[in-house]
Amino acid sequence: MGDLKQASLLQQIKIVLCQTSHPGNIGAAARAMKTMGLQQLVLVQPKEFPSQEALARSSGALDILDNAQVVSSLQEAVEDCRLVIGTSSRSRTLPWPMVEPREIKNIIEKEPSALPMAIVFGRESSGLLNEELQLCHYHVNIPANPDYMSLNLAAAVQVICYECRLLALQQESSLHSGAEVDSEADDSERKATIQQTEGLYQHLENVMIETGFFDPQEPKLLPARLHRLLAKAQLTEAEVNILRGFLASMNKHIKYHTVNKESGEL
Same domain, 46 and 99: yes
Query: What does the alpha-carbon distance between residue 128 and residue 134 come to, in Å, rounded to a whole number?
Result: 10
CATH number of the structural domain spanning residue 19: 3.40.1280.10
Query: What does the alpha-carbon distance between residue 209 and residue 265 come to, in Å, rounded to a whole number?
Result: 24
199-240 residue pLDDT tens: 999 999 999 999 999 999 999 989 989 998 998 898 999 999
Q: Predicted confidence band at 177 (pLDDT cuts at 50, 70, 90)? A: low
| Among candidate residues 176, 211, 245, the one where a domain is terminated | 176
| Among candidate residues 176, 205, 238, the one where a domain is terminated | 176
Output the pLDDT for position 1: 40
- Asked if pLDDT for residue 261 goes beyond 80, the answer is no
Question: How many domains does the chain fold into?
Answer: 2
Output the pLDDT for position 5: 46
- Asked if pLDDT for residue 266 goes beyond 60, the answer is no
| Among candidate residues 176, 208, 239, the one where a domain is terminated | 176
Is residue 87 included in any domain, yes or no? yes
CATH number of the structural domain spanning residue 238: 1.10.8.590
Same domain, 64 and 131: yes
Output the pLDDT for position 179: 52
Q: Which range marks the domain in which residue 122 is found? A: 2-176
- Residue 157: how many CB atoms within 10 A of its CB? 25
Quick one: average pLDDT of 234-257?
91
Same domain, 149 and 252: no
Output the pLDDT for position 93: 58
Q: Environment class of residue 51 by beta-carbon count within 10 Å: exposed (0-12), middle (13-18) or buried (19+)? A: middle
Q: Predicted confidence band at 98 (pLDDT cuts at 50, 70, 90)? A: confident
Same domain, 136 and 12: yes
Is residue 19 included in any domain, yes or no? yes
Of the candidates 21, 25, 20, the one whose C-alpha atom is nearest the C-alpha of residue 152 is 25
Output the pLDDT for position 85: 95
Percent of residues, the chain, with pLDDT higher than 90: 64
Output the pLDDT for position 153: 95
Same domain, 139 and 210: no
Q: Predicted confidence band at 254 (pLDDT cuts at 50, 70, 90)? A: confident
Same domain, 134 and 203: no
- Asked if pLDDT for residue 73 goes beyond 90, the answer is yes
The more confident residue out of 91 and 187 is 187
Is residue 219 included in any domain, yes or no? yes
- Asked if pLDDT for residue 46 goes beyond 60, the answer is yes
> Whole-prediction pTM value?
0.85
- Asked if pLDDT for residue 265 goes beyond 70, the answer is no
The most confident of 89-93, 140-144, 252-256, by mean pLDDT: 140-144
Same domain, 97 and 199: no
Average of per-residue pLDDT values in the chain:
88
5-33 residue pLDDT tens: 444 889 999 999 999 999 999 999 999 99
The more confident residue out of 214 and 90 is 214
Is residue 187 included in any domain, yes or no? no
- Asked if pLDDT for residue 184 goes beyond 60, the answer is no
